[in-house]
Structure 1
Amino acid sequence: MISSLVVILIVTFLVALGSFLIKPRDIRWSIHLRRPKWLVFEPAIPLIWTIAFTCGAVSAAIIWEKDPGSLKTWLLMGWYLILEIVTVAYIPATLRLKSLKVGTLLGGIGVVLGVILTLFVWPISGTAALLLLPYAIWSPVGTVTTKEMIDLNPDAA
């Protein structure tokens, strides 16, 4: 029998593969965008998101193990999944549509979904809620960065 953590990690990985729905022409557009001067950690962003997604998957596994198969647990698993899909959609949607507003909107939706999920999870497991903190901290940073990029690149809004 495969553990719930393994299943959740596999689903997380498969959804994360959606970030590869970008094409070289999409990347060319983004290369020319001006970025905030304080954005010195850009090379670390993939690692930061890997940590956030891994912590989210472990959080989901903890919640699953608390009440496996119940309707409430399935609904929470759906919320985790929607949060990941919105987050993964950020890069392909922003690049494909060449719109930083789309990125800001998706980022904002992700922030709200992440905060709500954390509030739902907290009474079930403080540990699972704490594991959502990397997402809760990082997601607003990415959203604010994208918003600032609109100011620096008004034609890319």
Structure 2
Amino acid sequence: MIKSWMVIGGVAFVVALAANWITPSDRHWFNRLQRPKWLTFEVAIPLIWTVIFICGAWSAYIVWERQPDTNPTWVLMGLYLLLEIVTIAYTPVMFRLRSLHVGTVLGGTGFTICIILAITVLTVSSWAALLLVPYLLWSPIGTYTTWQMIKINPQDA
């Protein structure tokens, strides 16, 4: 029998693969952009997001296990999926459109979805809501960084 954590983890992994939907020219565009001087932790960003996605999947697992296969739980699973899709879309969509504005909007959208999700999940499990806090803390940092990059790279806004 397939366990719920396997399905949740598998879906999260498959969606995350879409982040690799970028071309070398997309990567070149982003790598040539100037960064804020205070951005000294860029090398840690993939690890930070990995931890955030693990926390999100764990949160979804807790919610599923509390009220498995109910309509409200399926709606929450849809919100978790939407949050991951919007978050993963940040890189390939921003790179493909070569638009830091698009990245800023996607970052803000993810943050908004996560707030809604966390408030809703709080009624099911405080632990599941707590596991969304890393996203809520980090997402504004990433969004603010992208917004600051618009000022430094106005030609790529």
Q: Does TM, normalized by the shorter one, top 0.5?
A: yes
* Aligned-pair CA distance for 1:29: 0.6
* Residues 1:71 and 2:81 aligned together: no
2:95 — aligned with what?
95
Whichever residue aligns with residue 108 of structure 1, its letter is G
Q: Spell out, residue by residue over 1:14-67, the C-alpha distance to the aligned partner (whole angstroms, 9 max, x if none).
A: 000000000100011111111011111100110000000000000000000111
Unaligned 5+ segments in structure 2 are: none
Partner secondary structure for residue 18 of structure 2: helix
Distance 2:59 2:20 in 1: 25
Q: What's the % identity of the aligned pairs?
A: 56
1:58 — aligned with what?
58
Runs of 4+ with deviation above 2 angstroms: none
1:113 — aligned with what?
113
Partner secondary structure for residue 124 of structure 1: coil
2:43 — aligned with what?
43
Distance 1:22 1:51 in 2: 22
Distance 1:4 1:138 in 2: 27
Distance 1:36 1:118 in 2: 30
Partner secondary structure for residue 2 of structure 2: coil
Partner secondary structure for residue 104 of structure 2: helix
TM-score (norm 1): 0.99
Q: Spell out, residue by residue over 1:49-97, the C-alpha distance to the aligned partner (whole angstroms, 9 max, x if none).
A: 0000000000000000111010000000000000000000000011110
Whichever residue aligns with residue 67 of structure 1, its letter is Q
